[in-house]
């Protein structure tokens, strides 16, 4: 393992965050707080509890996961797309560094940024509602696995995209709707039975359900199914990244 190379790429990506702190940190935190104020105040006044938890507290895990997924995706996709756009990616590919080390550096930086945003949102939410974390180990596990998984997905999108429009296509038109329909703001048990079954096709349901269980012990699906689906998503993303570097897809001229 070439730790110096991994460190160099990782620090370069993290340094970019300092130059764009408004976009990378402050903007997503403000957006999520606005979601919380609007949904928690406006809808929360009409819905007292969901599964024995106040609605304001109930939506906190969903909001954190929504931010974690979108930020991991966007940070990783832009992080690898920009070197492709400028042509500097070939300097990285020609260096004595493996595909695994390149992936660890870019994905690690993207996941770190999104985790920082998620933690800030978690701390901020405590000023609005009382939050209880019953299973901190599982909370940290789903937190970390989701950040890494969506950073890998963003890495794939960044390599696939050949313009900025494609770079925004998946996060805006696929991931965000899936997050909204995956139980971020409601329990899928509130849906008609037919739609409950349809919703289970959405992979985001399992991520949010497992993460919410770690807070309140309440979940739409079992913990182990949520964990299995999360690990499956992670494994598929890793396999695609391996295939990309093995074949040189979109990386070789």
Distance of CA 29 to the CA centre of its chain: 14
d(C-alpha 250, C-alpha 143), whole Å: 30
* Long-range Cβ contacts of 235-240 (<8 Å, 24+ apart): 237/149, 237/152, 237/153, 237/156, 238/152, 240/156
d(C-alpha 83, C-alpha 202), whole Å: 32
54-81 confidence digits (pLDDT tens): 887 888 888 899 889 988 998 888 888 8
Mean pLDDT of the chain: 84
**Amino acid 199: pLDDT:** 86
Burial of 139 (0-12, 13-18, 19+ CB in 10 A): buried
pLDDT at 41 exceeding the cut of 70: no
Distance of CA 122 to the CA centre of its chain: 15
**Amino acid 176: pLDDT:** 79
181-239 confidence digits (pLDDT tens): 888 888 888 888 888 888 888 889 999 999 999 999 888 888 999 999 999 999 999 99
d(C-alpha 49, C-alpha 69), whole Å: 26
**Whose CA is closest to 121, among 217, 16, 33?**
33
């Amino acid at each position: 393992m070439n730790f110096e190379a991994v460190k160099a790429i990782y620090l370069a990506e993290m340094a970019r965050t300092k130059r764009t702190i408004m976009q990378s940190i402050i903007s997503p935190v403000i957006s999520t707080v606005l979601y919380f104020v609007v949904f928690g105040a406006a809808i929360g006044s009409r819905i007292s509890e969901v599964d024995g938890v106040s609605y304001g507290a109930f939506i906190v895990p969903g909001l954190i996961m929504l931010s974690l997924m979108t930020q991991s995706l966007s940070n990783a996709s832009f992080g690898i797309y920009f070197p492709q756009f400028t042509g500097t990616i070939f300097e990285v590919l020609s260096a004595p560094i493996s595909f695994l080390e390149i992936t660890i550096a870019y994905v690690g930086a993207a996941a770190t940024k999104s985790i920082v945003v998620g933690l800030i949102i978690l701390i901020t939410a405590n000023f609005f509602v009382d939050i209880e974390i019953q299973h901190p180990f599982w909370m940290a596990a789903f937190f970390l696995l989701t950040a890494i998984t969506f950073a890998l997905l963003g890495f794939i999108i960044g390599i696939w995209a050949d313009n900025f429009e494609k770079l925004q296509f998946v996060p805006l038109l696929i991931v965000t709707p899936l997050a909204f329909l995956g139980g971020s703001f409601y329990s899928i048990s509130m849906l008609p039975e037919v739609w409950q079954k349809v919703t289970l096709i959405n992979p985001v349901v399992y991520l949010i359900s497992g993460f919410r269980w770690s807070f309140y012990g309440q979940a739409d699906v079992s913990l182990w199914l949520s964990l299995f689906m999360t690990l499956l998503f992670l494994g598929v993303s890793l396999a695609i990244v391996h295939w990309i570097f093995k074949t040189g897809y979109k990386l070789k001229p």
